[in-house]
Amino acid sequence: MNMTDRERFIATMHYQPRDRAPICDFGFWPETIETWYAQGLPTWVKRGYDGATTNQFFGMDVFSGGSGGNVGLLPAFESKVLEDRGDHEVIQDGNGVTLLRKKTMGSIPMHLGHTLTDRASWEKHFKPRLVADEPQRLPKNLEERRKVWNDPHCPYPRTAWGGSLYGWIRDWMGMENVSYIVYDDPALFEEMVTTLADVTVHVLTKLFEMGAHFDACSMWEDMCYRAGPLLSPEHFKKYLVPHYKRITGLLRKHGCDVVYLDCDGCIDQLLPLWLEAGVNCMFPIEVGTWNADPRKYRQQFGKDLLMIGGFDKHILAKSKRDIEKEVHRLTPLVEEGGYIPLCDHRVPPDVPLENYLYYLELARKIWGKGVNLKPMGQLEAKAAVGGMG
């Protein structure tokens, strides 16, 4: 049987028969693509994060297709350059944060200042941008969206956008400030979390009233680091879990039972609480120095936990033998289902194109079983890299 990306995603996430495992990736740093041009990657494969041309060249399946509304700041703050410092620049971003960043985006920008600092700035600058019933939150191309929502033959998974309950607040205030506010003004923290949840619930409700059908919902938090969560499990359970339940309950009421959440870092302490709250899929399962392992998570949480990711990106810069070992190590979990294997974050520029193609060749052969695979592009002649057959 030959399946579409959507059919394969649904079957995988429900442990149902399928033609093969999805072959996907999270993406690539712009610097990675730039480096690979010299190794034979055609220049029509674009730098950036949209994934369209990289998916086309590498023959990738799609595990997420956006179909939701706007649940964030509306309008966003004006993005502008405040100061040029040669290879760095000081900017204000759409979150009202002043950042120092490298022009090549080779590292995480440094926070220099925040518009959101206390209740007064919340009331003045942020709360007015989080009005739930603002009409512009709904897609402008509603008729086109309705066609996708109601098309049983849609080729890609239809994914709602569930926003964020903590990660955005951390972005707006900075990690230190949000950590203090939980203790110094817990009522404000709770109000911010509740407001974000209200916006998401309102927008999703409106979309469902308009006939939306979603195969999955995506959320983003990034609320953990190498030693664990940035918010204690006690505060997580008190402030976040009730609102996750509001969102996941609404989704399940309308037939959307896959809710995947993007969180880097060591997620172990929060995993049981996310599952309790109805968030049942983790992504990208960053391996890191804490050695996260999707096989260990399956043993610990069983089939209730769905997963996307978990292939250590650092292995791709090692030997081909190391790549082979990791592909084979994850294969039993891939075959069991409920798991989409892919690099645990964007592929970094220290990975040779030859190594990445070797990994992809193995993934297509072993996980994809050579069945119904999408065609791959051809390298330019200046690089004699194998695996493109």
Average pLDDT over residues 303-319: 98
- Residue with token string 């990791």: 326
What's the chain's average pLDDT?
94
In this prediction, residue 140 carries a pLDDT of 87
pTM: 0.94
pLDDT one-digit tens code per residue, 207-252: 999 999 999 999 999 999 999 999 999 999 999 999 999 999 999 9
Q: CB under 8 Å, gap of 24 or more: what pairs does 134-137 form?
A: 134/74, 136/70, 136/74, 137/69, 137/70, 137/71, 137/74, 137/199, 137/202, 137/203, 137/206
Residue boundaries of the structural domains of the chain? 5-73+115-367, 78-114
Q: Which fold has domain 5-73+115-367?
A: TIM Barrel (3.20.20)
pLDDT one-digit tens code per residue, 7-24: 999 999 999 999 999 999
In this prediction, residue 384 carries a pLDDT of 46
